[in-house]
Structure 1
């Protein structure tokens, strides 16, 4: 009988100890708009900032909202901010990546989050481009190249006015040709050639073109397209891309876009307009 009492007492203490060590949890609900699915090697990850340090709230790939995550209640109540990042699906680093998509501060039980502060504010973005193919000696295919410069004064100057991006992001130009987006290259400086100026498979064989972002579509066309082409009627786009990039397709943020007029003149400055997605936003509720 004495042994039975000892065992029961031990079980009671064990249960009591387990109850004492349980961690209270609370729900965190994300209701975000504008996000697109990432490539198979990347995930979105939420973070709350507690005492200045990031605490993960979990990862997701489904971009249908609202979504709810169970997190530590004490940490959640103490959180000052929420941040959303793009992370490798297999991620050995426990800290957030440089590529952060949304952020906002909690006020009471809610944080209004957006991409303006953590990616860039594109409200004042503007763009100009010309049709030209300066990387070959053939003057018959000038409508097969697009360069983001303004030559209306007689001298070439930068055609893009864009904010400096936060770490983890780059700009990328695109020509959407018969429904297929074809990159002009990535860049961070509107006053310099893009990153693939010397290595582009599409450009001609006599040089890299002017010292501004752009591309000549003259050879090695992607499957389903033929180069040289005619960009009149195509859509020219500037997107904001994660770096490293999650996909060969344009990311959801597209601050500038323009359909090339059918009657556009070669070597003549053409103005762009606002793109379809200039910011991402949403609410985070605790």
Structure 2
């Protein structure tokens, strides 16, 4: 009797495995992401991975945690045929099944791994440089010139663009910031270094004498955020250029910050000041299949 029971259990086990294979004809393989430098996006956006198969994007799943490694189950045949991995930023509630324009990492597979980077898909900031001046051209008061920052170079006697930055891909914009005791306050978003930024005509901080020069920048003269006082003195503050998703996921600076500089304590008004490298010029990682 015991022998017959054992044989019956073994038969059920074999049958169970056989039925499982028949019911799951699609086989999956593991895709592992080990990415550096990403930050959490908040509740409105998520990251989504994509593999490019025969020229078409195939989603590998979404995630919000930026703790790695993370593993996803992906169709085995698709994964074997994939040539490229791409990471995008997507709305949490996303009616569009295609990847958004805001792509942050990409890299081609070589064997079973892909070295992914933001350099090609967002921009290469290895040669980025910047200059700025302290000035407040949007009011008629010449006693508060240290309360404004403009990303221009006037060292030749006439103003030219102060920022040397690559053209961004779709889905991204630059944004200037001044950090006041840990509180970043925007100077405005922009895509071109030789034109006024997006808030030139709508800034609540500028004075009442005009929009200022046709370059990115800001005067901090009125309507200061809570805890701050305008006009102020930018010496000792940190000036930053970040790269932001468009549409933006947060009112705070994004993780990509190619340029930054603490304004010297002896900085002279209306005089060109050189920026330095920012804390994050690129993002990278390894994707394994």
- Scaled by the length of structure 1, the TM-score of the pair is 0.94
Q: How does 1:220-231 map to 2 (within 5 A)?
A: 220-231=223-234
The answer as to 2:201 corresponding to 1:198 is: yes
Q: How does 1:266-285 map to 2 (within 5 A)?
A: 266-285=269-288
Q: 1:28 to 1:18 in 2, by over 3 A?
A: closer
The answer as to 2:44 corresponding to 1:41 is: yes
Map of 1:6 onto structure 2? none
Deviation at 1:22, TM superposition (A): 2.4
**Aligned with 1:274: secondary structure?**
strand
Aligned-partner Cα distance in 1 for 2:227–2:27 = 56
Q: How does 1:55-134 map to 2 (within 5 A)?
A: 55-134=58-137
**Aligned with 2:243: secondary structure?**
strand
Deviation at 1:223, TM superposition (A): 1.1
Map of 1:3 onto structure 2? none
Map of 1:140 onto structure 2? 143
Aligned pair count reads: 274
Aligned-partner Cα distance in 1 for 2:48–2:226 = 34
Aligned-partner Cα distance in 2 for 1:57–1:146 = 43
1:175 alignment partner, one of 173, 178, 189 = 178
The answer as to 2:48 corresponding to 1:51 is: no
Deviation at 1:175, TM superposition (A): 0.3
**Aligned with 1:143: secondary structure?**
helix
Map of 2:159 onto structure 1? 156
Map of 2:4 onto structure 1? none
Map of 1:19 onto structure 2? 22
Query: Unaligned 5+ residue runs, structure 2?
Result: 1-14
1:189 alignment partner, one of 175, 186, 192 = 192
Deviation at 1:23, TM superposition (A): 1.0
Deviation at 1:39, TM superposition (A): 2.4
The answer as to 2:238 corresponding to 1:232 is: no
Deviation at 1:21, TM superposition (A): 4.7
Aligned-partner Cα distance in 2 for 1:118–1:254 = 16
Map of 1:252 onto structure 2? 255
Aligned-partner Cα distance in 1 for 2:104–2:49 = 10
Aligned-partner Cα distance in 2 for 1:20–1:262 = 71
Aligned-partner Cα distance in 1 for 2:277–2:24 = 54
**Aligned with 1:32: secondary structure?**
strand
Aligned-partner Cα distance in 1 for 2:40–2:193 = 28
Deviation at 1:178, TM superposition (A): 1.4
For the aligned residue pairs, the C-alpha RMSD in angstroms reads 1.4
Deviations 1:217-245 (Å, cap 9, x if unpaired)? 01111111111111000000000000000
Aligned-partner Cα distance in 2 for 1:159–1:139 = 22
Deviations 1:156-211 (Å, cap 9, x if unpaired)? 10000000000100000000011110000000010000001000010000100000
Deviation at 1:20, TM superposition (A): 5.7
Query: Unaligned 5+ residue runs, structure 1?
Result: 1-10
Deviations 1:39-86 (Å, cap 9, x if unpaired)? 220000000001100000011110011111111111101100000000
Deviations 1:98-145 (Å, cap 9, x if unpaired)? 000000000110000000110000011010000000000111111110
